[in-house]
């Protein structure tokens, strides 16, 4: 038996042993694609595949050297699984029958930036935080417990003495079968956990853990249900690491195991100027191809962005050799009051207009729409025929930057979250006539791509009409993340000190989407710091967090 055959046999036996010992009740159907998806195009299984118990070919994990340099693809023929990203009609997350709740990743201890726990905010006429541990005073969040069988995927530095995860959760994405995937990163590499968002215990026990070696900020991802794979990018350029110009790909099994994601490196060229530092900031999937947005710049260079079209083969591997790129001419720049940071990113999203795919890309001052050709070529769409040239949608009146895009659950609206306030549009405050910059989320009609009424996310509408008070609510944040529900939006922020920016009385901002402005949760007269704020306070009743701002990092809406 040669070495390759021996390796395949051993790995197949290991897969059988792992599956045989799992709890089948908690296992999702992971048999996406056809049974010959591991073929090399000639009817023979490629050496780095193993056939799992569902008859589906799965990639073998790469060794350390392959992981560092990037794993090679097994076939350069584009697949035919019609793999899509997560959009309304394609995922359970867009069930719009219920108000649902927000999951928010927040620090478990006051004054810290790590050791995240997950908090749940139940929505409806009475918005309140769910209490995961009623034996402790105040509303408690839930930790992530790392069982023994998953510890191979989690750096020991991130696990405390009780087996609880102690890293920073920087993103949530919907997974298969009513699961949510929590993304996390740090100096020891990245980790993702597949969890049941409806868990009500004081600690989530993941269905799966995934390791992303060399990734410091693997905070953006998309899941493909057709391929049963998670695609993850490392969004912050760190020169000592190696995960910023490639894509991590992980099989989703949900059978209580820890796995190693495959890393596919992309030798990105400097597409704008000699100072460009390419790294991916946003990701989506449409028709067996990845769309990747690269910031492609440096603080002292033109911070323009480039879209890369990367086909996927039948095994779901990115075929970087066949990529195409398009310069957006829609830069992400450092401007007054809106400094570039690890969470000041661009974003993209693939939608459909009259049955045809359209790509939306953000920049500091506008959103550009692109027709997607069958070969991946992009053609800019004119969004304003009354002006000369091919125009995008100007967002300067709402804010600066396009940090993230999200659909409403009914699929009718696409929201774009600005990184910080507008530097061009002001409103006058009623009580003293002082001008205040607008800070609003842009809303776009998903069918017509026309702009709708913006959504105030910074209490500007409230301030505009506020009269006869001796104090003002404090609000100095820049946006970090947001999530959109049936009737509500939550916005997480950060001030210069890396906390909420809402001051000690509140931690997150919750918006009424019907009124298109923030809900006020504190109206009591007074002068103390915590009474000057109107946002939602997490950990109500917990003495540890009295008059202390929570540091929140990620949010998702769950129906």
Question: Is the model's pLDDT at 2 over the cut of 50?
Answer: no
Residues in contact with 161: Cβ distance below 8 Å, sequence separation at least 6, in sequence order: none
pLDDT of residue 342: 59
How confident is the model over 403-419, as pLDDT tens digits? 999 999 999 999 999 99
Position 29 pLDDT exceeds 90: no
Is the pLDDT reported for residue 101 higher than 70? yes
Contact 264, 320 (CB under 8 A): yes
pLDDT at 341: 61
Instruction: Give the residue, 327 or 20, on which the prediction is more confident.
Output: 327
**Dihedral angle of Cα 238, 243, 245, 247, to the nearest 10 degrees:** -150
* Model confidence band, residue 69 (pLDDT cutoffs 50, 70, 90): confident
Phi, psi for residue 397 in degrees, rounded to 5? -75, -15
Phi, psi of 14, deg, nearest 5? -65, -40
What per-residue string of b and e applies to 227-265 under the rule 16 or more CB within 10 Å gives b? Answer: bbbbbbbbbbbbeebbbbbbbbbbbbbbbbbbbbbbbbb
Q: Which tokens belong to 9?
A: 């046999």
In order of 88, 137, 442, 515, the CA distances from 456 in angstroms are 24, 34, 9, 9
Secondary structure element (H or E) that encloses residue 20, with its range: helix 3-20
pLDDT of residue 336: 57
Average of pLDDT values for 24-32?
A: 29
pLDDT at position 6 is 37
- The predicted structure's pLDDT at residue 42: 30
The pLDDT, as a whole number, for residue 498 is 78
23 SS3 class = coil
Asked if pLDDT for residue 199 goes beyond 90, the answer is yes
At residue 117 the predicted structure's pLDDT band, cuts being 50, 70 and 90, is: very high
pLDDT in tens, 121-165: 999 889 999 999 999 999 999 999 999 999 999 999 999 999 999
pLDDT grade for 56, boundaries at 50, 70 and 90: low
- Which of these ranges, 316-330, 351-365, 494-508, 536-550, has the smallest mean pLDDT? 494-508
Exposed, middle or buried, 106 (CB in 10 Å: 0-12/13-18/19+)?
A: buried
Separation CA 195–CA 192 (nearest Å): 10
Q: Please report, rounded to a whole number, the percentage of residues in the chain having pLDDT higher than 90.
A: 53
Average pLDDT of the residues in 349-378: 93
Listed in sequence order, the DSSP H helices in 331-467 are 460-465
Domain boundaries, the chain: 3-558
pLDDT of residue 24: 24
Q: Which two tokens stand for residue 230?
A: 């998670």
In this model, does residue 74 exceed pLDDT 80?
yes
Q: Is 337 left (phi over 0), alpha (psi -120 to 50) or beta?
A: left
Alpha helix stretches (DSSP H) within 198-345: none
Rounded Cα gap, residues 408 and 402, in angstroms: 17
Closest CA to 479 of 469, 494, 460: 494
165, 144 Cβ separation under 8 angstroms: yes
3-state secondary structure of 149: helix
What CA–CA distances, in Å, run from 51 to 15, 16, 73, 356, 367?
Answer: 9, 10, 17, 36, 44
Predicted confidence (pLDDT) at residue 28 exceeds the cutoff of 50: no
Q: Helix %, strand %, coil % for the chain, to 5? A: 10, 35, 55
Place of tokens 């820049």: 478
pLDDT band at 524 (very low <50, low <70, confident <90, very high): very low
| Residue that is written with structure tokens 């540091």 in the block | 551
Contact 483, 490 (CB under 8 A): yes
Interacting residues of 70 by C-beta distance below 8 A, sequence separation 6+: 246, 263, 264, 265, 266
From the number of C-beta atoms within 10 Å of its C-beta (0-12, 13-18, 19+), residue 271 rates as middle
Distance, CA of 58 to CA of 243 (rounded, Å): 22
Paired tokens of 17: 């042993």
Asked whether 254 and 194 are in contact (CB, 8 A), the reply is yes
339's CB contacts (< 8 A; 6+ apart) are: none
Average model confidence (pLDDT) for the chain? Answer: 83
Reference 420, options 461, 347, 477, 366; nearest CA is: 477
Lowest mean pLDDT among 240-249, 373-382, 431-440: 240-249
Q: Are 401 and 364 in contact (CB under 8 A)?
A: yes
pLDDT digits (tens, 9 = 90+) for 442-456: 999 999 999 999 999
The pair of three-digit structure tokens given for residue 283, joined into one six-digit string: 């990701």
Residues linked to residue 368 through DSSP beta bridges, in sequence order: 361
Which residues lie closer than 8 Å to 304 by C-beta, 6 or more apart?
272, 296, 297, 327, 328, 329, 330, 331, 332
**Cα 40 from chain centre:** 33
Q: Are strands 257-260 and 208-212 parallel, antiparallel or unpaired?
A: parallel
Question: How many Cβ atoms from other residues are within 10 Å of residue 70's Cβ?
Answer: 20
Averaged pLDDT for residues 239-262: 85
Torsion of CA 121, 123, 126, 130, to 10 degrees: -30
Coil/strand/helix, residue 529: helix
Residue range 282-303, pLDDT digits in tens: 999 999 999 999 876 555 456 7
Q: What are phi and psi of 238, to 5 degrees?
A: -125, 115
> Does residue 15 carry a pLDDT above 70?
no
Closest CA to 533 of 542, 524, 541: 524
Q: 505: which 2 tokens?
A: 């009385």
Average pLDDT over residues 383-394: 86
- Range with the poorest average pLDDT among 368-372, 433-437, 513-517: 433-437
Token couple for 242: 């190696």
Q: For 3-558, CATH number?
A: 2.130.10.10
């Amino acid at each position: 038996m040669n070495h390759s055959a021996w390796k395949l046999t051993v790995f197949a036996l290991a897969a059988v042993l792992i599956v045989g010992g799992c709890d089948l009740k908690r296992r999702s159907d992971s048999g996406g694609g056809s049974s010959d998806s591991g073929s090399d195009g000639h009817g023979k299984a490629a050496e780095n595949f193993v056939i799992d118990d569902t008859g589906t070919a799965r990639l073998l994990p790469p060794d350390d050297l392959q992981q560092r340099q990037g794993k090679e693809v097994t076939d350069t023929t584009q697949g035919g699984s019609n793999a899509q990203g997560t959009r309304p009609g394609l995922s359970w997350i867009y069930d719009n029958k219920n108000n649902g709740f927000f999951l928010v990743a927040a620090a478990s201890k006051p004054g810290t930036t790590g050791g995240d726990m997950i908090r749940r905010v139940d929505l409806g006429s009475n918005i309140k935080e769910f209490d995961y541990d009623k034996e402790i005073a105040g509303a408690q969040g839930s930790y992530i417990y790392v069982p023994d069988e998953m510890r191979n995927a989690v750096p020991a530095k991130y696990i405390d003495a009780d087996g609880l995860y102690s890293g920073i959760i920087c993103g949530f994405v919907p997974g298969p079968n009513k699961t949510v995937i929590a993304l996390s990163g740090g100096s020891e590499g990245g980790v993702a956990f597949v969890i049941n968002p409806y868990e009500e215990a004081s600690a989530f026990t993941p269905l799966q853990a995934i390791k992303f070696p060399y990734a410091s900020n693997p905070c953006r991802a998309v899941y493909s249900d057709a391929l049963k794979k998670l695609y993850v990018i490392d969004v912050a350029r760190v020169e000592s690491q190696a995960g910023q110009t490639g894509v991590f790909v992980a099989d989703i099994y949900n059978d209580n195991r820890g796995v190693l994601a495959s890393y596919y490196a992309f030798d990105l060229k400097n597409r704008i100027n000699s100072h460009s530092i390419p790294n991916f900031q946003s990701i989506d999937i449409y028709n067996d191809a990845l769309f990747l947005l690269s910031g492609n710049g440096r603080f002292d260079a033109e911070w323009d962005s480039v879209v890369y079209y990367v086909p996927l083969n039948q095994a779901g591997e990115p075929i970087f050799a066949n990529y195409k790129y398009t310069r957006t001419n829609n830069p992400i720049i450092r401007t007054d009051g809106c400094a570039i940071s690890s969470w000041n990113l661009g974003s993209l999203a693939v939608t459909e207009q009259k049955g045809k795919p359209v790509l939306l890309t953000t920049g500091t001052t506008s959103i550009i729409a692109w027709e997607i050709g069958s070969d991946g070529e992009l053609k800019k769409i004119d969004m304003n025929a009354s002006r000369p040239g091919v125009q995008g949608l100007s967002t300067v009146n709402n804010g600066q930057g396009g940090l993230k895009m999200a659909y409403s659950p009914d699929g009718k609206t696409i929201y774009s979250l600005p990184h910080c306030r507008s530097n061009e549009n002001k409103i006058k405050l009623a009580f003293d006539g002082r001008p205040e910059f607008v800070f609003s989320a842009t809303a776009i009609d998903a069918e017509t791509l026309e702009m709708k009424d913006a959504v105030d996310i910074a209490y500007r509408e409230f301030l505009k009409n506020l009269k006869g008070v001796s104090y003002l609510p404090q609000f100095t944040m820049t946006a970090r993340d947001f999530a959109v529900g049936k009737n509500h939006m939550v916005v997480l922020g950060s001030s210069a000190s890396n906390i909420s920016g809402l001051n000690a009385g509140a931690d997150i901002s919750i918006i009424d989407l019907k009124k298109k402005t923030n809900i006020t949760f504190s109206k009591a007269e007074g002068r103390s710091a915590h009474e000057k704020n109107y946002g939602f306070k997490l950990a109500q009743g917990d003495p540890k967090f009295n008059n202390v701002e929570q540091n929140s990092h990620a949010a998702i809406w769950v129906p």
